[in-house]
Structure formats: structure tokens, C-alpha cells
Amino acid sequence: MGSGTVRQAVAQGSNAWARVFALVYDPLLWVGERAGLAALRQDVVGRARGRTVELGSGTGLNLRYYPGDLDELILTEPGAAMRGRLARRLRHGRRRARVLDASAERLPFTDATVDTVVSTLVLCTVDAPEQALREVGRVLRPGGRLLFLEHVRSRSPRLASWQDRLAGPWRRCAEGCHCNRATGELIRACGLELEHAVEASWHAMPPIVRPLIAGVATKRES
Ligand SMILES: C[S@@+](CC[C@H](N)C(=O)[O-])C[C@H]1O[C@@H](n2cnc3c(N)ncnc32)[C@H](O)[C@@H]1O
């Protein structure tokens, strides 16, 4: 078998897994949602105002929590399989939103034109989180807000070392998710002002993804 054929087989395998992952995503999260994640989503996403952009919307589990009076809701999602599930959820619901094929590292919006950016369980997966956070800062208007809910590296050295040990296999199973990423520190360092942040636990999920942070970071008015 030539190297081109091997590459093609690997690409086909990863596309097939991406489709399976999108299909099983909601059932896999079901218990964790009921055990508290849904309430955290509601608290975070319910703060959205004005022109709102969501990063990596996945299957659209946040949709039901957006306030009804947003100026505009734009859902970005680079994964074709996830985008398919998202479009399906939108077709079957009453919420109106625009879906865009875009990655967080390259948002298709001009500078300072967005009031709210929402990121839930996404900064663990993006390839370049610092670049994604720079993009968030670029597109937000002064006074605009990043609303986040992310699973993060544990403060417990013991759990963090398990996160490091299991990071490789977890990333392969969970479509690129880094269970050991210190996303809280990245948000603190990205130039937005951390207005509010709480730590929580993602109950009923494997311990390596249980530590959560949720909060609001604001772009300074200059
Ligand atoms: C764990 S899922 C979270 C989905 C959804 N935000 C939620 O809260 O259920 C991670 C999502 O990030 C998306 N993603 C992966 N790489 C990305 C990138 N570079 N930019 C934006 N989203 C990305 C994936 O396609 C996937 O939908």
C-alpha cells in the first residue's frame, strides 16, 4: 500500500469517527447535563446580549438557553458532522440563528463588531487557544464580553498528573480535546478583564474532565 493510500485511509477513518462522535455526543453528555452542566450552561449563556457569536457550537446544546431578544445569533462550527447535527436541531426548533463554517482561530467578522462571544467546552479542543482568544478580543466591541464554561487542568497535582498521563488517548477518543489544558490561565493572560469566574465540577463525568470554570471576561473600554 502506497503512502498516499495510507493517508487516504487515515483521513477516511478520522472522518468516520468524527461522524460517530457527533452522533453520540448528546447521549454521552446526557447524564452530565442533568447532573449540573445544563444549569451552568443556562447561567453562562443566559447572559448573552446584542450581536452574539458562539464558538464551536457542536450539536447546539446551548441553543435553548439564549435570551429571546438578541440582535443576532451566529453559531460557528468547523466540524462538518457537528454542523449537520446543529442544522438539524435548528430545523426542529423555534430558535433562529445563522450557522457558519468557521474556526475560533479565524473568525469571519470585522474588528469590534460583536457584543458577546460564547465558548462552552471549546477552548479545550481548538488547536491554538491563544490565537482563538486573540480573535475573541479582536471581534468584541469595547465593553463586549466573553462568556465561558470550560473544563480545565486540575489544581490538584495528583489529578493533573492523571490528566497528563491520559491526555493522548483522551484526545484521540474525544476529537482533539485536551483534558489537561490550563484554559483559566489562558483566559487570564489574554488581555480581557476577568469580571467573574467560578469553579465547579462536571458531575457524572470521568474525573479527568471534571474541573470546570465558568465566567465572564470583558474587553476594556479604551
Ligand atoms: C466538546 S465539543 C463542544 C460543543 C459545544 N460547544 C457544547 O458546549 O456542547 C467541541 C467543539 O469544538 C469544535 N471545534 C474543534 N476545533 C475547533 C476550532 N478550531 N474552532 C472552533 N471550534 C472547534 C468541535 O467541532 C466541537 O463541536
Range of the domain at 39: 3-218
Question: Which of 89, 85, 105 minimizes the C-alpha distance to 97?
Answer: 89
Output the pLDDT for position 149: 98
pLDDT for the residue 56? 98
What is the pLDDT, as a whole number, of residue 6? 60
Cα separation of 134 and 128, whole Å? 10
* Atom number of ligand 1 nearest to Cα 77: 22
**Number of neighbours of residue 210 by Cβ within 10 angstroms:** 18
Nearest to 73 by CA among 92, 54, 100: 54
Which residue among 15, 120, 122 has the greatest number of ligand 1 atoms within 8 angstroms of its CB, and so is best to mutate? 122
Q: Mean pLDDT across the chain, nearest whole number?
A: 95
Nearest residue (by CA) to ligand 1, atom 26, is: 58
This prediction's pTM: 0.95
CA of 157 to the centre of ligand 1 (A): 27
- What are the pLDDT digits (tens) for 94-129? 999 999 999 999 999 999 999 999 999 999 999 999
Whole-number Å distance, alpha carbon 56 to ligand 1 midpoint, is 4
pLDDT digits (tens, 9 = 90+) for 10-35: 667 678 989 999 999 999 999 999 99
C-alpha 58 to ligand 1 mean position (Å): 5
Q: Are 49 and 68 in contact (CB under 8 A)?
A: no
Give the residue among 41, 117, 110 at the shortest CA–CA distance from 75: 117
Q: Is 129 in the pocket of ligand 1 (CB under 6 A)?
A: no
Question: What's the number of domains the chain is made of?
Answer: 1
Q: Could you tell me if the CB of 55 is within 6 A of ligand 1? A: yes
Each residue of 170-209: pLDDT tens digit?
999 999 999 999 999 999 999 999 999 999 999 999 999 9
Residue 1 has pLDDT above 90, yes or no: no
Whichever domain contains 103, its CATH number is 3.40.50.150
